[in-house]
């Protein structure tokens, strides 16, 4: 078992599946932000800028996970942390102060519109980064 | 369309549980899903040309771009990862497509009802 897991780096094995999920989110968040900003930006600028921000973070996370290496691992760590903070902060805000965000973003209500995946994804990402980092240290 | 995608997804799940990499069949499955998606969207384009338009054309287009990219993305990643996780990737993609097709459908329905 040790031989099988040791050569694994950030972007292979389960990591590659993680990249796929992040890729899908990067894609759909970007599309959503583009549509919102392109068609009705004045309606809720804050919410749409947040959408764009979330999209950028997902793209960075996807690239960082795919690239691997120590620097990119740190980048992935930071972007996953931002996602977790973002989804929790926006989730709380949308529940306690619904008027702050008149239109939905990826992170609204803890990502309910996306099956709560935005809430779970950064946690899995952080766990995987930890696990992969430990493997590197051992190898 | 939804059933087709779920079928390929279920097959990928079985392979993942058996600790097997996705085979040529899965890639063909993804190809079939992609072709079906294109057919669906061409049909939608014809309907739109006939005056039956979705409420928000931009939103519809956004979903179209996303959904069309998914099967090729899944296929490329799955080929890069010739382990059980490659099968998991196909599973994830095949679970995402039905959700997007449903959303796509919703953008259309707003019109007919309003």
Please write the tens of the pLDDT for every residue from A87-136.
Answer: 999 888 888 877 777 677 788 888 887 878 889 999 999 998 888 877 76
Q: How far is B102 from chain A (nearest CA, A)?
A: 13
Whole-number Å distance between alpha carbons of B11 and A26: 26
pLDDT tens readout for residues A57-84: 999 999 999 888 889 999 999 999 999 9
Contact status of A17 with chain B (Cβ, < 8 Å): yes
Judged by CB atoms closer than 8 Å, whether chains meet at B81 and A17 is answered as yes
What pLDDT is attached to residue B110? 53
Per-residue confidence at A1, pLDDT binned at 50, 70, 90? very low
Q: Please give the pLDDT value at position B58.
A: 78
Which of B5, B13, B16, B62 best probes binding to A when mutated, by most A CB atoms within 10 angstroms? Answer: B62
Q: Is the Cβ pair A16, B65 closer than 8 Å?
A: no
Taking contacts as CB-CB distances below 8 angstroms, the residues of chain A near B59 are 35, 39
Q: For chain A, how big is the Rg over CA atoms in Å?
A: 16
Among candidate residues B66, B1, B89, the one with its CA nearest the CA of residue A106: B66
CB count, 10 Å around CB of A1?
A: 5
Flag if B86 and A20 touch (Cβ within 8 Å): no
Structure-token match 């590197």, residue found: A136
Q: For the whole model, what pTM was predicted?
A: 0.83
Q: What is the pLDDT of residue A7?
A: 42
A137 confidence band (pLDDT: 50, 70, 90):
low
Domain parsing of chain A, residue ranges? 2-134
Residues 6+ positions from B20 with CB-CB distance below 8 Å? B84, B87
- ipTM score over 0.95, yes or no: no
Under DSSP, the state recorded for A9 is -
pLDDT at residue A97 in the model: 78
Is the predicted pLDDT of residue A85 greater than 90, yes or no?
yes
Separation of CA B114 from chain center:
27
> Cα separations (Å) of B33 from A1, A53, A134, B9?
36, 31, 39, 11
Give the pLDDT confidence score for residue A21 in this predicted structure.
Answer: 92
CB atoms within 10 A of CB A69: 13
What pLDDT is stored for residue B113 in this prediction? 42
- Taking only the tens place, the pLDDT of each residue in B70-100 is 999 999 988 888 888 889 999 999 989 998 8
Shortest alpha-carbon distance between residue B83 and chain A (Å) = 7
Q: Is the pLDDT of residue A2 over 80?
A: no
CB pairs under 8 A, 24+ apart, for A105-109?
A105/A47, A105/A48, A105/A50, A105/A51, A105/A54, A106/A25, A106/A29, A106/A32, A106/A51, A106/A54, A106/A55, A107/A50, A107/A54
Q: Across the interface, which of B70, B85, B93 has its CB nearest the CB of A16?
A: B85
| Residues of chain B falling short of pLDDT 70 | 52-56, 109-114
* Tens-digit pLDDT profile for residues A7-39: 457 778 888 899 999 999 899 889 888 888 888
- Nearest CA distance, A90 vs chain B (angstrom): 23
């Amino acid at each position: 078992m040790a031989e099988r897991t040791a050569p694994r780096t950030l972007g292979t094995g389960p990591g590659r599946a993680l990249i796929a999920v992040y890729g899908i989110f990067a894609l759909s968040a970007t599309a959503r932000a583009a549509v919102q900003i392109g068609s009705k930006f004045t309606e809720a600028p804050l919410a749409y800028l947040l959408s764009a921000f979330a999209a950028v973070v997902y793209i960075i996370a996807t690239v960082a996970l795919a690239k691997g290496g120590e620097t990119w691992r740190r980048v992935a760590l930071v972007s996953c942390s931002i996602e977790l903070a973002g989804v929790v902060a926006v989730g709380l805000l949308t529940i306690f102060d619904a008027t702050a965000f008149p239109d939905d973003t990826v992170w609204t209500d803890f990502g309910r519109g996306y099956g709560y995946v935005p809430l779970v994804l950064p946690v899995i990402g952080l766990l995987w980064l930890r696990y992969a980092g430990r493997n590197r240290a051992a190898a | 369309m939804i059933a087709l995608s779920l079928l390929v997804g279920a097959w990928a799940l079985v392979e993942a549980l058996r600790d097997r990499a996705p085979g040529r069949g899965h890639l063909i499955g993804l190809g079939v899903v992609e072709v079906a998606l294109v057919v669906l969207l061409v049909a939608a384009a014809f309907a739109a040309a006939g005056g039956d338009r979705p409420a928000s054309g931009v939103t519809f287009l956004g979903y179209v771009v996303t959904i069309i990219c998914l099967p090729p993305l899944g296929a490329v990643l799955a080929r890069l990862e010739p382990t059980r996780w490659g099968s998991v990737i196909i599973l994830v993609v095949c679970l995402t497509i039905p959700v997007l097709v449903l959303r796509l459908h919703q953008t259309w329905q707003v019109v007919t009802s309003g």
